[in-house]
Amino acid sequence: AKNADFPGARAPYTGEIKFLDENSYEPIPIYRVLDNNGKAADKSHEPVLDREALRHMYKTMTQLNQMDKILYESQRQGRISFYMTNYGEEGIHIGSAAALDPKDLVYAQYREVGVLLYRGMTVQELVDQCYGNHRDPGKGRQMPVHYGCKRRSVVTISSPLGTQMPQAVGSAYAYKRRAGNENCVICYFGEGAASEGDAHAAFNFAATLSCPIVFLCRNNGYAISTPSNEQYRGDGIAARGPAMGLRTLRVDGTDTLAVYNAVKQARHIAVSENKPILVEAMCYRVGHHSTSDDSSAYRSLDEIAKWTKDESPIQKMKLYLEQKGHWDDKADNEWLKEARNNVLLSIQEAEKQKKPNWREMLEDVYYDMPPRIHLCTT
């Protein structure tokens, strides 16, 4: 039928009153490559990654896991003030990071430290930030896990949720205008943060201003204690994508290879067409929200157990590597020991370091220190 002439939408008239709701559309399916046994159902979807690349991905996931275990304990012992683990979401970090160009700009929420590890940030650098010692480039000003690294194109994390989203769009617009641009911006956020007004702003600005950005939503089912059915009533975050003019894909976030394929294609579209993409990675937050949270207060241990065994991204990746002949139990044991030592030695080293000079408390508020602040340092 011919569309009506209203400027606000291209649509035909209808004689029928038909309200649409969340059930008016089929739920958006979840793209996966590996099953729970680490087998690729469709070989043609196995990414072209060599033995070393795949091993590196797995080793980074497990290094992250070891770091989480030890730093979580170190918080419990009162050595660091705060920590947030990444259990169950390692596949999203490593799958997406591997699909990106190292120069693509990363805006993260706080549960994406695997991306930084994959970018080459050392365990020592991360631990130094958590201890806020003088080697922390952030000068010990922010809480633990608020990492950032200009050299590796990772924008420093801040606590306010969703704020990074319209910022990432602005950076993507700046990238688009650079001559011969070959990079995009990736913006990570949780499904809870997607309820913030900034998320709406970001999707809309990215679409109307045609920005080369990949929005990657980690939908892990919970925002602290709030389950996703108290967060939204539509078909997750992905269903908002097409409504805002974003190309959208939903992916199994426990499947590192599926995330890799999704982000690889998303980044290609973003860079070559200056189009924003939304990827919703379904996963489960296996750990507590943070060290200040006991998640058994609002969910059952049985529920958690399912996701630590059958649906573990690390386990799936390990089974895949074993089937390929790239990995075995011996290599695994040796590596886990090494990964554990990396963290323990880093903690010993970080604890030896002094805190920054107290004057750093007043530096960097402005580019130049105004007289009133300067007065406080003398």
Partner 1 sequence: MNSLVRRSYFLTKVVKNVNDCAKRFSSHFIYYPDQHKPDDGQTTKMNMMQAINNAMDLTLSSDPTALLFGEDVAFGGVFRCALGLQEKYGKDRVFNTPLCEQGIAGFGIGLAAAGATAIAEIQFADYIFPAFDQLVNEAAKARYRSGGQWDCGALTVRAPCGAVGHGGLYHSQSPEAFFAHAPGLKVVVPRGPIAAKGLLLSCIREPDPCIFLEPKILYRSATEEVPNIDYMLPLGKAQILREGDALTMIAWGTQVHVLLEVAEMASEKLGVHCEVIDLMSILPWDEETVCNSVKKTGRVLISHEAPLTCGFGAEIAATIQEECFLHLEAPVTRVTGWDAPFPHVFEPYYLPDKWRCYHALTQLINY
Question: Is 289 an active-site residue?
Answer: yes
Query: Under DSSP, is residue 141 helix (H, G, I), strand (E, B) or coil?
Result: coil
Minimal distance in Å, beta carbon 158 to partner 1?
6
Among the options 159, 225, 272, 292, which is catalytic? 159
- Check residue 128 for interaction with partner 1 (CB under 8 A): no
Q: In sequence order, which residues have a C-beta less than 8 Å from that of residue 105 and are 6 or more positions away?
A: 153, 155, 168, 171, 172, 175, 183, 184, 185, 186
Q: Give the binding range for partner 1 (CB under 8 A) out of 3-11, 68-76, 109-117, 161-169.
A: 161-169
- Check residue 158 for interaction with partner 1 (CB under 8 A): yes
> Could you give the C-alpha distances from 288 to 71, 116, 224, 255, 305, in angstroms and in order?
14, 21, 8, 21, 13
- Check residue 358 for interaction with partner 1 (CB under 8 A): no
Measured between alpha carbons, how far is 275 from 352 in angstroms, rounded to an integer?
Answer: 48
> Could you give the C-alpha distances from 181 to 184, 219, 246, 270, in angstroms and in order?
8, 30, 21, 11
Residue (158 or 228) nearer to partner 1, CB:
158
- Do 231 and 225 form a contact (C-beta atoms < 8 A)? no
Question: Is 52 an active-site residue?
Answer: no
Tell me which residue has tokens 């269903």: 239
Minimal distance in Å, beta carbon 152 to partner 1?
10
- The β-bridge relationship of strands 105-107 and 154-155 is parallel
Residue (90 or 112) nearer to partner 1, CB:
112
Measured between alpha carbons, how far is 266 from 99 in angstroms, rounded to an integer?
Answer: 9
- Check residue 177 for interaction with partner 1 (CB under 8 A): yes
Among the options 74, 290, 312, 346, which is catalytic? 290
Minimal distance in Å, beta carbon 230 to partner 1?
23
> Could you give the C-alpha distances from 42 to 31, 32, 125, 327, in angstroms and in order?
12, 10, 39, 21
Q: Give the binding range for partner 1 (CB under 8 A) out of 34-42, 224-232, 279-287, 357-365.
A: 357-365
Among the options 22, 73, 182, 351, which is catalytic? 73
Binding track, positions 188-217, relative to partner 1; x by CB under 8 A: ---------xx-xxx-xx--xx--------
| Contact residues for partner 1, defined by CB under 8 A | 105, 107, 136-139, 141-142, 146, 148-150, 155-156, 158, 160, 163, 165-175, 177, 185, 197-198, 200-202, 204-205, 208-209, 363-367, 370-373
